[in-house]
Structure 1
Amino acid sequence: MKRLLDRIPLLIALLKRYRGLVALFGFCSGVASFLLVDRQAHLAKVLGVVLLISWLWLILENLLRERIAQRFGFELPLPLLRYATQMIHQESLFFVLPFFFITTTWNSGQVLFSGLLAAAALASITDPIYYRWLAPRRWLLLILHSLALFAVMLTALPIIFHLTTPQSYRIALVVATLLALPSLPGLIGGAGWRRILLLATLPIVMAGAGWLARVWVPPATLWLTEVAISDRFDGTQRTPGDSLQQLTPDQLRDDGLYAYTAINAPRGLDERIYHVWQHNGHEVDRIALNISGGRKEGYRAWTHKLNFPTAPEGRWQVSVVTEAGQMIGVLRFEVLPAGSVSR
């Protein structure tokens, strides 16, 4: 152990001497983790545990460094600890990014959350941003850490424990809110009873805002692999007819309309989703479906709508959402006046 500790000053000297190479290595390792990492359940579990442990370290850093110095007679260098924290952030954020990118509905508010994750990932591999802006501001570093843990838990809980998307979101939100508490004193200035009141109420506001913003957060482990809007369906083969984008009222009245979706979900996950039928922005029907995960091509689910308004012309969409309201995807079609669409 002593030999290992004796080598740390040499490592610190090399880090200071070759800052450019260290920054380049950090950037390359972040990109490599995005491209090469094996996104399996065991890695998600490890990242979640490592993030929790590293969060405890960030909170108790000064105390733990003092105890280690007393016990081993050696003070852990702060630059080395910051570099280790940076690597944890890189691996965590680049691990979850592909999950969120593939599940994001890009013409919806979900682009804000996925964009925030992407910005955080880029900041973690850009040393001037990470070390000049994030690391010196402990409260900002803790917020980044809470965001990374929140995203990892949204990804890991359904895969490891087969929790539904609403259950995973609630647990991740509670944990992220609790972990963000130590960053609040640095975020809120001033003094006196107003500061105390803000510190007491802000966590409740954060949790409430996080729950309301769930519709902007993609369901990390659920995504559409195949979709179709059709007026025909083969129940034996579970396959739709030709996908249609434009229809006439007569086509709707013949035998209704089918909305077909194949949804990728983790093995062992049983979840309830909804097909929400909307006409010109107004919800006209909400049909529940139960899906099971594990099928590589996705769980095939469909709804058959027979009842349409007397004047069905206009823009239609079928939103595929979780029980908590998170959007998995959208199917769109348009109903035009009779005779204006060829079959």
Structure 2
Amino acid sequence: MPDLKSLLQRLLALVQRYPGTIAAFGFASGIVSFFTVERHEAFARVIAIVMLLCWAWLVVEQWLRQRMKQRLGWTIPTPVLRYATQMIHQEGLFFVLPFLYAATTWNSGQVVFTGLLGAAALVALVDPLYFRWLAGRRWVFLTYHTFTMFAVLLTAFPLILHLTTGLSYRLALGVAVALSFPSLAELLSIEARWRKWAVVGLMAALGALGWFARLWVPPATLRLNEMAISTQMDTRTMAAGKSLRTVTPAQLQANGIYAYTAVSAPLGLREHIYHVWLHNGREVDRIALDIRGGRKEGYRAWTHKRNFTADPQGRWQVKVVTDAGQMIGTLRFRVEDRASPENAAPAAPTPEPAP
């Protein structure tokens, strides 16, 4: 025990002398995570497990410090703990950013969530922002911690436990709401007998808000690799015909229309998704599909719609959504009397006049 204590004290002294090395290590490992998780999914699982263990350590941080002081007579200095926490935040945020970046539908409200995540990663990299502005305000720090934890769990659950996107969102939201208790309690300066009920009410409101905001959160481990709107589909090779932007009513009546998608998901994950057909913003059909993860190019599936209204002209969308309503991507096309030039058949050559 004396040798271990002496070794730990020397290590802590070295860290206190060069505290920036922890932050530099966190930054470097975060960058490595950013560029490798998409290429090596097994490595991503290892990072996710390490992240969850690190978060468990953060939860019991105060208790561990007290036990160390009681049994060893010394404890880990606060600055060292803050640098270690910064490293975990950097690792976690850079771990989830590639997944959420790839899953984001950029012409939707999901841009807000991904943008906030990118801003949080930037704060974790800049020491003045992290230590003076963030760590110096406890309730802000706890909120930041909870937000990062939510994003990590949202990505880790499908990778490690192969939970569906909807179930992963519910569990991650539940954990985030539970972790919000300390920050909410600090914000309320009311009598103690009313505080616990006020905090419970705020936590319930936060949970409801988080659930309704799920449409703005990308499905972390799902992404649309390929999509097409076509009047033809080769079911043997599972390949769509030419992708169209404009379709005529005559084409719809003759062949109907295919919505083809290839959705990438982690190995072992089985997901229930929907193709939601909308005409001029109004939902007219919702068709369920089951996909399986593991294929690098994405799990290929399609829906074939043949029933249309008497006047199908206008704007059409096929939204690809999870069972929880999170959007994976959107296909768009128009139905018009005249097809666009790229869909029209080539014109016959004009015969030259006889000499």
TM-score normalised to the size of structure 1?
0.91
Would the aligned equivalents of 2:26 and 2:91 in 1 still touch at CA under 8 Å?
A: no
Report percent identity of matched pairs: 54
1:115 is aligned to: 115
Structure 1 stretches of 5 or more lacking a match?
A: none
Distance 1:299 1:13 in 2: 50
Q: CA deviation at 1:187?
A: 2.6
1:52 equivalent to 2:53? Answer: no
| Partner in structure 2 of residue 315 of structure 1 | 315
Kept in 2, the 8 Å contact 1:275–1:288? The answer is yes
Alignment partners' CA distance in 1, 2:154 and 2:296: 21
The alpha-carbon deviation at position 338 of structure 1 amounts to: 3.6
Partners of 1:24 and 1:268 in 2: how far apart? 35
**Equivalent residue for 1:97?**
97
Q: 1:134 maps to what in 2?
A: 134
Shift, 1:29, TM fit: 4.9
The Cα shift of 1:190 comes to 4.1
1:6 alignment partner in structure 2: 9
User: 1:144-202 CA deviation, whole Å, 9 max, x = no partner?
Assistant: 22222211111111122111111111111111111111121223334466644421200
Q: CA deviation at 1:307?
A: 1.0
**For structure 1, which segment, 5-14 or 175-184, has the greater mean C-alpha deviation from structure 2 after superposition?**
5-14
Are 1:267 and 1:294, in contact at CA under 8 Å, matched by a contact in 2? yes
Structure with greater Cα Rg: 2
* Structure 1 partner of 2:304: 304
CA distance in 2, matches of 1:66, 1:157: 32
1:35-94 CA-to-partner distances (Å, cap 9, x unmatched) read 35655222212212221221232xxx2x53233122112231100000001101110110
Is the CA contact 1:257–1:306 (under 8 Å) kept in the aligned structure 2? yes
| Contact 1:55/1:145 (<8 A) preserved | no
Q: CA RMSD in A?
A: 2.1
TM-score when normalising by structure 2? 0.88
Distance 2:182 2:229 in 1: 49
* 3-state SS of paired residue (2:226): strand
Match of 2:352 in 1: none
Q: Give the aligned partner of residue 257 of structure 1.
A: 257
SS in 2 for 1:203: helix
Task: Report 1:192-211 matches (<5 A).
Answer: 195-211=195-211
Query: Could you say which residue in structure 2 is the equivalent of 1:224?
Result: 224
User: Structure 1's 24 and 269: CA in aligned 2 closer, same or farther, altered over 3 A?
Assistant: closer
Task: Measure the CA separation in 2 of the matches of 1:93 and 1:145.
Answer: 11
Count residues with an aligned counterpart.
Answer: 336
CA 1:165–1:24: 2 relative to 1, 3 Å:
closer
Determine helix, strand or coil for the equivalent of 2:300: strand
Q: Do 1:154 and 1:220's aligned partners in 2 also have CA atoms closer than 8 Å?
A: yes
Equivalent residue, structure 1, for 2:351: none
> Distance in 1 between the 2:141 and 2:87 partners?
13
Deviation of 1:299 (Å):
0.7
3-state SS of 1:40 partner? helix
Return closer, same or farther for 1:27/1:91 CA change in 2, 3 Å cut-off: closer
**Higher mean C-alpha displacement, 244-253 vs 224-233:** 244-253
Query: Contact 1:273–1:322 (CA<8 Å) still a contact in 2?
Result: yes
Equivalent position of 2:349 in the other structure: none
| Consecutive unaligned residues in structure 2, runs of 5 or more | 346-355
**Aligned residues of 1:275 and 1:318 also touching (Cα < 8 A):** yes
Which moved further from structure 2: 211-220 or 70-79? 70-79
- Taking the aligned partners of 2:87 and 2:305, their CA distance within structure 1 comes to 51
Show CA shifts across 1:199-234 (max 9, x none).
Answer: 120010111111111111111111111110000111
**How far apart are the structure 2 equivalents of 1:139 and 1:340?**
56
SS of corresponding position for 2:180: helix
Q: Does 1:330 align with 2:330?
A: yes
Q: Bigger shift: 333-342 or 144-153?
A: 333-342
